[in-house]
Structures are given as structure tokens and as C-alpha cells.
Amino acid sequence: MLTKQIVKKEFEKEPDKYWGVEIFKEKGFVRKQCEKCGKFFWTLQQDRKVCPDQPCSNYEFIGKTITKVKWDYIEAWKEFEKFFVKNGHTSIKRYPVVSRWHPKLFFTIASIQDFQRIEPTGVVFEYPENPLIVPQISLRFNDIPNVGITGKHMTCFQMSGQHAFNDETGRGYWKDKCIELNFNFLTKVMGIPEQEVIYVGNIWAMPDFSAFGPCIESFSKGLEIVNSVLMQFKATDSGFAELPIKVIDVGWGHERLPWFTQGTPTVYEVAFGPVIEKLMKATGIEYDKKFFAKYSRFAGSLDIDEVPDIKLARINLAKQLKTSVDEIERKIAPLEVMFAVADHTKTLVFAITDGGIPSNVGGGYNLRVVLRRALSFIDKFKLNLKLEDVAFWHIDYLKKIFPELAKHKEEI
């Protein structure tokens, strides 16, 4: 039976075959192994000894932007779209977040899901253009306890999908062009210095290994900005074999693009734009940006799935910040609640627009959970707030990319 560990060990016998790309050779990237966790990564920093991922590296971009641009959420998509259309991609509209075409998933959790069709023989792909990009809104509910706490987790986020299908038309492309586009966008459009872009080799796989392959994660200053999946193989009785169609499946974490350019303490200030300002004004929650900026450099390591005791983790954070746990709780907890309310309301806006209703059945239960959670935060912290107002603030901001939201105010 295949596992990620088995596949990764096999691939690492021939790293250049699976992860090597021309631009690594052209620019002089060196493959190294992290002294802390053992991961392999490619870097132009000759003396670097640790990988760029947490917990081996902390966020180094907060308050210290290194890009030549400073984007908000809307601008980031417009610039992303301009670059990829210029480089031969067709920009298409998002698919619904309620995934009625997929028999195993209630919601769209990734942009590649738009094009997957489940047949008796396995997964096949239907796509309107090739190559393409799509501003796919995705809903994931496995990280609900982390929302607001880590500074980066959301139940609703935009996966800007970059996809190429290597079919008989010959219009697709493979890993060399994929990472060349990636590198050019990061360095030439965003303006990240070349030596600050670091790539980590990893494995991506469907749970049943019906599709899997190597992936190349792009980092800068401790933040994973995008993951480029090379969907290439499927499991067989004797091991694995090539898929009929090799697929470039790049999921750009869209909110992280403007976050990286602005260097705000969390992704939420950028992802929700003016909604955060309106929430602070309506609730009277105070935002000590100087304190929160120091806290946020370590907050990414507070993943509840990976930290067995969140209270102990905060004690350790307090020591690093030379402050008390009480001060952290007093200054941080109200902000975490505000960010969670903003996130959960945005999730409901997209779900209801696309026909999803909070209930106690199926996917509706997930929507019910975030609705009740947002309402309970409002009650617990006695916030002068109506969720429908927050929903309309989101709609007013996002209508430049998603005009369909404004047509569903009454249902919301």
C-alpha cells in the first residue's frame, strides 16, 4: 500500500527526475537538507542551513516588506490575471462553492475540483480552456478552531488556480514552464529578490492515490505562497504508473499574495479589506498593532492540530515576547474573535449565494457550525454587531471580482 512517506522516499532517490527544473540550473539553486526537520529545499542562499517552513523558520515578512508592490485583495487578483493571460492562460469564472458535481464532497475545497468528474474507471477531467486560471473560492472546515488564532487559517479562501492539461491538443505544459512562470511572477511582478525565493520538494496525493505526484512549494521569508502540484501518477497493484493526462495543478493561496506585499500582522487585515476597519469601529475592539506584529511572527506555529496544549504554547510565546499570558489573552482574544466572525460570515455569503443553507444535514451542518460559532462570539464578547451587516460589507468589497454576490442579498 502506497503512503506519502513511501513515495517520497522513492522519489528522493532521483530528486532531479521528480523535482528538478531548468530554472534551478539556470539560476544556480542549490539543493540542501534542513538541519532541523530533514526536508530538502532549493535555495540561492549558499549558507542557509534550515528550510523556510515553520517551525524551522518564523515569519520574517511581517512589518518588513521586500516586494516592489503593495497590493490589496482586489489588486492582487487583477495583477495575477494580467500576468497569466499575457502568458497564454484563459481566465474563467469561479465554480460554485457547493460542489454538486462531486459525489464525495459537499463543498469545493480546491480549484482542481472544478474539473474533476468521477467515473467508474476513475477520475477524468473536463475543462473549458487549456491552460487556464480561475479565482476559485474554496471552503474547508477542518481548521475551524485555528481560524483567528494562527493569523493564516480560514474556512473561506480564494485558491487562484493555475492549470494546464497535457492532453492530445498539445496546449498544456509541464514542470519547467510551471516553475519558470512561478519564479517570474514572484520576482518580476511581485518584486521579491531572487535570493529570497526558496523551493521545498514534497508529495501531493489523493487519499486513495488515484492521482498523485511531486509538488514544489514556493516560500519567501517563512511564508508558503503557493504549491505547484505535478499530478502525474496513479497507484497500481504493483506500485504506480503514469496518468493518461498529466496535470499542472497550481493552487495559489491568493490572500497570501497581498499579505506578503503589505506585511500586516495577519492575513485577515488584507483578505477582508475594509471589513476589518468597519468591524473595529462597530465593536470598539482595540488593536495594538505594535504588540500584535511581534506576536504574529510566532502565531503561525499555534496550529491546534500540531500543538497538543494551546495554553502551554502561549506560555512559551509569552516568554519569547517577554510579556505575560494575561496580556496576550487580553490583547489578542478579542481580535481573534473579530477575525473569526469576519471569516465565518464570508463563508456564509458565498455558500448561500451558491445555494447552500445552514442546517443539521450533510454540508449544511458545516455552515450551521460556523453560523452558531460567529453568533456565540458576538454574545460572549457582547459585540454590537449584526451578521447581515458584516455580510453586506463583504459583498460591497468583493463585487469587483464576484458581482454575483450582490444579487443574493435577500437570501443572505
* Residue 393 near residue 349 (C-beta atoms within 8 A): no
Report CA torsion sign: 168, 177, 135, 116. Answer: positive
pLDDT tens, residue by residue, 43-72: 999 999 999 998 899 889 998 899 999 999
pLDDT tens, residue by residue, 262-276: 999 889 999 999 999
- Vertex 179, ends 173 and 181: CA angle to 5°? 80
Cell readout for 56 is 524551522
Place of cell 460554485: 96
CA distances from 218 to 14, 131, 180, 253, 256 (A): 20, 21, 12, 11, 12
Average pLDDT over residues 113-117: 93
Give the Cα separation of 257 and 199 in Å (integer): 16
The pLDDT of residue 310 = 60
Give the Cα separation of 145 and 198 in Å (integer): 30
Task: Provide the pLDDT confidence category of residue 106 given band limits of 50, 70 and 90.
Answer: very high
Average pLDDT over residues 121-128: 86
Gap between the terminal Cα atoms of the chain: 46
Give the Cα separation of 229 and 249 in Å (integer): 5
Lowest average pLDDT, out of 2-16, 31-45, 313-327, 386-400, goes to: 313-327
Task: Provide the pLDDT confidence category of residue 304 given band limits of 50, 70 and 90.
Answer: very low
The pLDDT of residue 97 = 98
3-class state of residue 225 by DSSP: strand
How many other C-beta atoms lie within 10 A of the C-beta of residue 286?
Answer: 10
Give the Cα separation of 387 and 394 in Å (integer): 11
Within 300-357, residue ranges assigned H as helices are 310-321, 325-353
pLDDT tens, residue by residue, 66-98: 999 999 999 999 999 999 999 999 999 999 999
The residues, ordered by sequence, that sit 6+ positions from 321 with a Cβ below 8 Å of its Cβ are 294, 295, 298, 328
pLDDT tens, residue by residue, 348-385: 999 999 999 999 999 999 999 999 999 999 999 899 99
Nearest alpha carbon to residue 52 among 195, 189, 229? 195
pTM above 0.85, yes or no: yes
DSSP state of 404: G
Give the Cα separation of 97 and 317 in Å (integer): 37
Give the Cα separation of 242 and 233 in Å (integer): 4
The pLDDT of residue 35 = 97
pLDDT tens, residue by residue, 158-208: 999 999 999 999 999 999 999 999 999 999 999 999 999 999 999 999 888
**What is the total residue count of the chain?**
412
